[in-house]
Amino acid sequence: MIEMRVAGIALDAMSRTPVILLRDTTDRRQVPIYISREQANSIIAVLENQPAPRPLTHDLFVNLLDEWDMTLERVVIHSLQDNTYFALLTLSKGEIRRELDSRPSDAIAIALRLDAPIWVMEEVIAEASIPVDTDADEAEKKAFQAFLANINPSDFTHRGKSSTSNDTLESSDS
């Protein structure tokens, strides 16, 4: 799993649909997730520190967790199936831990309100991420190609003596 943070919300140029952008901590990859306008508004309210006059659904969920002394340990976006992301909320109360299925947009809105970490499975990132820093990616690719060009099979052989092959057992006659 890779920890991600909310980099912002954008609008798809063609459909004008809101897209939440999750970015890894190295700022090299981001995962775009299409969300509804209502979800976008809920997330933007937290990002811009604009509390609602009355509790919204995500605020109500946070209030319930607080009243029941429960903690949101983390959010995990664990799969992408047919262009739909799936997430889990990991909740705890004392030693008891439960996972709840959630839409990623709801999970992110709640995680932001509680300052809980957001994780994405590596398989999801491999399938859905887009590069952010293409210059750094290209430099890394060139450095790896240079490494491969200068490596020899002999670099992987061990030329030292095996400690077990030359050991002798001494026996004493008793």
- Which tokens is 38 given? 């209502």
Q: CB of 58 within 8 A of CB of 113?
A: yes
pLDDT tens, 79-136? 999 999 999 999 999 999 999 999 999 999 999 999 999 999 999 999 988 887 555 5
For the chain, give every domain's residue range.
2-149
- What pTM did the predictor assign? 0.74
pLDDT tens, 22-64? 999 888 889 999 999 999 999 999 999 998 889 989 999 999 9
- Which tokens is 67 given? 């009243």
pLDDT tens, 128-171? 888 875 555 566 666 666 666 776 766 666 655 444 444 444 44
- Which tokens is 85 given? 């992301």
Domain 2-149 sits in CATH at: 3.10.690.10
The pLDDT of residue 165 is: 41
- Which tokens is 134 given? 């293409």
First to last CA, the chain: 61
